[in-house]
Structure 1
Amino acid sequence: MPLRLTMTSLALRYTLLAWIALLFVFPMVFMLVSSLKPDLDLLRDSGSLRAFLPVGDVSLDNYRDAFDRAPIGRFIFNSVLITAVTMVLSLFLCSMAAFSFAFMRWPGRAAALAAILATYILPFEAIAIPLLLLVNELPWLGAGGVEFGWLNSYHVQIVPFIADALTLFLFVQYFRDLPRELVEAARVDGAGWFQIYRSVVLPLAGPVFATAAILKFLMMYNDQFMWPIMVAQVEEYRPVMVGLLYFFQLNVAWGEVMAYLSIITVPVLAFYLALQRAFIASVASTGVKG
């Protein structure tokens, strides 16, 4: 009897999980299937289960037309470059700052951390205009020497987003849970703070690095719309989210929109799957020996 109850509970649990998984998969299936249909079939099938089935006049014409309408390759390159550089710099700087908040003692540490975390509730729209005025006057060392104004560049889409309160908070909370005895023992052995950060803390921080990387990548890749529209007036520096505007001019080609969304989703899925495996591996291999 207990075995039967256990099998029944497992079957119910996996059935529930399967339905939850389907709820998350349905939008992806709808997007992929719709990208293969002409607009008339797409709109006609959207109110039935045929929307999730590749039936009717399916082809890759929407993908060909999407590449003809917009420089998708350039947009994806820009987004991946901006997101990857911002993510790497953010992980490095935020982890070092979190190390100082978690292990070092200096005046005003608690107040500084509280002030930084308070910025998380501040919407970007509230600082967009002041930030635009600021970056329009800042100097930058370019190929022709010192130039003023960061508009129409990659760094104007990277530098303002390197440090953020959420990434710092994740690292601070994780570092505070690490045994302080390891840091104190390293200090007794004569190790410097950066050596402790590199040789003691970083090897134990795999899970938080993977988690912060996934969140930072998704945030940067998906939120590149308002700010790039303000600072990137030329096509050369525009990311994928701004590229959506190319498909909403005059008559909307919904099949091309779905094809474009399918294409720009590939880097996100690839990065997420890669980091998910790294996250699982780091959790399995990370341990603290006494």
Structure 2
Amino acid sequence: MLINNVNKTAVYRQRTGRYLLLSAIALIFIFPMVFMVMSSLKPSLQLLRDTSSMRAFLPVGDLSLNNYSAAFRRVPIGRFLFNSTFVTGITVILGIMINSMAAYSFSILKWKGKGIILSIIIATFIIPFETIAIPLLLIVNKLPWIGFSGFSIGWMNSYHVQIIPFLAYSFQIFLFYQFFKEIPKDFIEAARIDGAGWFAIYSKMVIPISGPVIATAAILRFLDMWNQYLWPKMVIQSEEFRPVMVGLQYFFQLNIPWGEVMAYLSIITIPVLAFYLAMQSAFIESIASTGIKG
């Protein structure tokens, strides 16, 4: 009995220590967001004074929503939020369809040369986007206009120039490939014997059980697209199509209104948090089931 009590005490202490460590790590990641939100409620002078103490993380002093109203006057936030949501949403949805089908062909179908092509696709993931940005810009600038029945639109200053170049994504293909190749072959062969076609197997059998990896791919791609700055800055000059990150340039001036900047950042962070909270359970399940490690 005494030994059991000692073991329970040891397990309790170990578990408590683990939770304390994880809580401390969580606080390290939460502090910047707390600082951002608290700073968005303070005048710029008070914000700068408070940065030298713990007051920067506390709701103390002259708090108000003036920075938010000023940010809305300075920047067309509603338009920018719509642009980023539209571009990000379309890219995530179409990208998951395209990349999952590509991974399905690599992991399930049998055809010559797929190993070499898959290796080349995965290798492209290590190439920084900055190295191909200028060549991609030159290619896009030479593409023909899209039009029908007297209506035409170019590639520059448009939504599609922010979407189409980012639909195919090597890392997403790799994620889906890792998941699909773990599907039992007997499962696929049984469907083939029953007369199911390859697309029917993909759409009615493989995709329905791929919720966790779809959530992971969606979250990672959502973050990438929502944080796009360099490419929209290069191809978008019209305010009508600018995303939220390009909106930060509206605050670049001699006397930077830091309170307004923090308010703007707080506003554009809300969709990211909402999307992650909606997908977090499937995301955690994917990490546990696919063996993805940091």
Quick check: 1:37–1:59 contact (8 Å CA) kept in 2? yes
1-side partners of 2:265 and 2:200: how far apart? Answer: 44
Q: 2:160 aligns with which of 155, 159, 163?
A: 155
Quick check: 1:140–1:146 contact (8 Å CA) kept in 2? no
- The structural deviation recorded for 1:176 is 0.6
2-side partners of 1:136 and 1:283: how far apart? Answer: 40
Structure 1, 246-255 or 33-42: larger mean CA deviation: 246-255
Q: 2:255 matched to 1:256?
A: no
Q: 2:264 matched to 1:236?
A: no
Secondary structure of 1:139's aligned partner: coil
Secondary structure of 2:142's aligned partner: coil
Q: Which residue of 2 aligns with 1:221?
A: 226
Q: 2:109 matched to 1:79?
A: no
Q: 2:271 matched to 1:270?
A: no
Quick check: 2:34–2:57 contact (8 Å CA) kept in 1? yes
Q: 1:211 aligns with which of 209, 216, 219?
A: 216
Query: Cα deviations across residues 126-170 of structure 1 (Å, max 9, x unaligned)?
Result: 111111111112124336647474000000000000011100000
Quick check: 2:216–2:282 contact (8 Å CA) kept in 1? no
Secondary structure of 1:142's aligned partner: strand
- Sequence identity (%): 61
| Distance change >3 Å, CA 183–CA 140, structure 1 → 2 | farther
Q: 2:192 matched to 1:187?
A: yes
Q: Which residue of 1 aligns with 2:9?
A: 4
Following superposition of structure 1 onto structure 2, how do residues 160-171 of structure 1 map, counting pairs within 5 Å? Answer: 160-171=165-176
Query: Cα deviations across residues 103-141 of structure 1 (Å, max 9, x unaligned)?
Result: 111121111111111110111111111111111121243
Structure 2 counterpart of 1:52, which letter?
Answer: F
| Distance change >3 Å, CA 17–CA 155, structure 1 → 2 | same
Query: Cα deviations across residues 165-218 of structure 1 (Å, max 9, x unaligned)?
Result: 100000001001111111111111111100010111112111100110110101
Quick check: 1:42–1:51 contact (8 Å CA) kept in 2? yes
2-side partners of 1:281 and 1:179: how far apart? Answer: 19
| Distance change >3 Å, CA 157–CA 196, structure 1 → 2 | same
Q: 2:47 aligns with which of 32, 36, 42?
A: 42
Secondary structure of 2:146's aligned partner: strand
Secondary structure of 1:151's aligned partner: coil
Q: 2:113 matched to 1:92?
A: no
2-side partners of 1:259 and 1:172: how far apart? Answer: 40
Query: TM-score, structure 1 length as denominator?
Result: 0.94
Query: Cα deviations across residues 70-124 of structure 1 (Å, max 9, x unaligned)?
Result: 1011111100100000000000010001000001111211111111111101111
2-side partners of 1:195 and 1:20: how far apart? Answer: 45
Quick check: 1:137–1:148 contact (8 Å CA) kept in 2? no
Quick check: 1:137–1:149 contact (8 Å CA) kept in 2? no
1-side partners of 2:17 and 2:285: how far apart? Answer: 29
Unaligned runs of 5+ in 1: 285-290
Structure 2 counterpart of 1:277, which letter?
Answer: S
Q: 2:187 matched to 1:173?
A: no
CA RMSD between the two structures:
1.8
Q: 1:22 aligns with which of 4, 27, 48?
A: 27
2-side partners of 1:205 and 1:115: how far apart? Answer: 25
1-side partners of 2:212 and 2:258: how far apart? Answer: 40
Q: Which residue of 1 aligns with 2:204?
A: 199
Q: 2:70 matched to 1:65?
A: yes
- The structural deviation recorded for 1:281 is 7.6
Query: TM-score, structure 2 length as denominator?
Result: 0.92
2-side partners of 1:209 and 1:93: how far apart? Answer: 12
